[in-house]
Structure formats: C-alpha cells, structure tokens
Amino acid sequence: MKFFVDTADVEAIAELNDLGMVDGVTTNPSLIMKSGRDIKEVTREICAMVAGPVSAETVALDADGMIAEGRELAKIADNITIKVPLTWAGLKACKVLSDEGRMVNVTLCFSANQALLAAKAGATFISPFIGRLDDLNLDGMELIEEIRTIYDNYDFRTEILAASIRSVNHMKEAALIGADVATAPPAVIKAMAGHVLTDKGLDAFLKDWEKTGQKIL
C-alpha cells in the first residue's frame, strides 16, 4: 500500500520523505490555511520534494470553473494531481481533465455508487472518507471493501485512496482490505512504529546492558 501524507507542512513531509515513507501528498484548502502560506508557493515546494503525485484541490463549484482551476494548478509541476469533489460537476471536470492526460483525484466519496461513477469518468484516484463515515456510526472500512470488490470485478484502473484516516488501526485495516493508497497525517504514520511491548522490551534490554558495565563506543 502506498503512503500519501495528508498535510501542507513541508518540514513534516521532508522528515517522512527522508525515510522513504512518502509516495505522494494530499492537500486541501483547510491544510493550506493551516500552513499560512500561498497555495502555489507551498504546493510548488512540495512537488519539488516529492516524486509522487501531489493533490491540489480546486474550489470552484461548477465544472467549467473546476476545469480552469485544474489546468492552472497543473502548471505548478508535472506531478500535480487535480482534486475535484464528487459532485456531478466534479465528474464532468474529471472526465475533461482525465481526457487531457492529467491525474485527477475525486474526493469526498461516501458511497460505492459514487466510486463507480468516478471510475467511469476516468479518475486516477477515488478518495473515500473513512473517519467521517465512522463519525456517523457507519463503517468506513465497509465502503473501502465495497469499492475494492466493484473495481476488481471490472478491472477499473482507478486507485482507491483511503482518506480521512484517524488512527493506526485505520491504516492496518485499509491495507488488509487492499486499498491502493492511504493518506494520513504525519502523526498517524509515525504512530505506526509504536507498541507498548516494544517500549517494555527495550527498557528491559537497556537495564540489563547497564548491569554489564560495558560500552559499545
């Protein structure tokens, strides 16, 4: 499963990228706002750092507006993925931009039917929002599983990009189901390395080592 980092924090992206943990980046207007920087400036810096796709989101509500904004965002770098919402206008924009050879991430997906439409429209990525479904006492992972089954039934090339990930369990479950990509905040990706038994075992080893009175350096 590919890891995308869901942030516009350049320092956090750089740290994970140096470890080989970044296959791409997703941004949105809210994340750009938190960075406090110009959208084109920060997006260009991220694109130069990361080899994989970098999602930059349109904000227009009509198809023509999304297409125009998408073309403008695509000028930033070759690895820009244009992010459009899963609305009828967004699907129209997806079709046009995909036909032009551009990568498109269709976001805010909450049903398998929506995901099917996005694949038919030529989306590069579909972004089902796990955490937001969980907030409504619905099973976000069940949606990932449904989309996986439908896409495999018909060999759709659209990649499932599990989004709105809130926990390390979300990451594990998305990988088990077969999501192609998971996008998560840096803190969630780093938390995957943690385990109470690892900490306990390390503490015991260090105490035993101290008793030997030896040094490696």
> Residues in the chain, how many?
217
User: What amino acid positions are annotated as catalytic residues?
Assistant: 83
Measured CA to CA, the distance from residue 44 to residue 79 in angstroms comes to 10
Measured CA to CA, the distance from residue 204 to residue 29 in angstroms comes to 46
**Percent helix, strand and coil across the chain, each to the nearest 5:** 55, 20, 30
Which tokens is 38 given?
């110009």
The H or E element that residue 108 is part of is strand 103-109
Rounded to the nearest 5°, which phi and psi values hold at 85? -80, 155
Measured CA to CA, the distance from residue 22 to residue 51 in angstroms comes to 9
